[in-house]
């Protein structure tokens, strides 16, 4: 299961459906307010476009809550966030570059294994480890 800091920090709460998992492809979570205003429910498909690139995702969950910091712009509002899996996001932005990743380990002894798996999965080097 993939949990963002907003969920583990309890800023966001899953209201319907499920969280994203490693097995999900072209899946997304959307905010409850956005879902209600657009009559969207889990199982519905959304077409997302950016700079001429298009990705179709299936809504697997609906979340509620506000971000950690007050939103200054409408695009910063939690209600306007769409959370998707990495592969869909990369296709949408047209790049394989990974700018940020957050991992959680239930046990500090898992950190080395987790870091090694992340390096292999994303074919990258990790510049700074922190616990």
End-to-end CA distance of the chain: 20
Stated pTM of the model? 0.67
What does each of the 131 residues of the chain score in pLDDT, given as a tens digit? 555 656 555 677 888 988 888 788 899 999 899 999 999 999 999 999 989 999 999 999 998 877 556 555 555 555 677 888 888 888 888 877 766 666 666 777 887 887 787 777 666 544 554 44
**Structure token digits, residue 80:** 């306007």
Q: Domains, the chain, ranges and CATH?
A: 5-95 (2.40.40), 98-131 (no CATH)
């Amino acid at each position: 299961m993939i949990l963002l800091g907003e969920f583990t920090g309890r800023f966001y709460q899953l209201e319907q459906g499920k969280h994203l998992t490693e097995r999900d492809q072209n899946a997304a979570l959307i905010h409850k307010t956005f879902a209600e205003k657009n009559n969207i429910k889990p199982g519905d498909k959304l077409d997302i476009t950016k700079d001429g690139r298009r990705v179709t995702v299936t809504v697997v969950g609906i979340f509620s809550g506000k971000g950690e910091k007050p939103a200054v712009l409408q695009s910063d509002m939690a209600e306007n966030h769409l959370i998707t899996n990495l592969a869909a996001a990369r296709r949408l932005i047209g790049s394989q570059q990974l700018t940020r990743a957050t991992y959680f380990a239930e046990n500090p002894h898992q950190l080395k294994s987790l870091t090694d798996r992340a390096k292999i999965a994303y074919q990258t080097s990790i510049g700074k480890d922190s616990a």
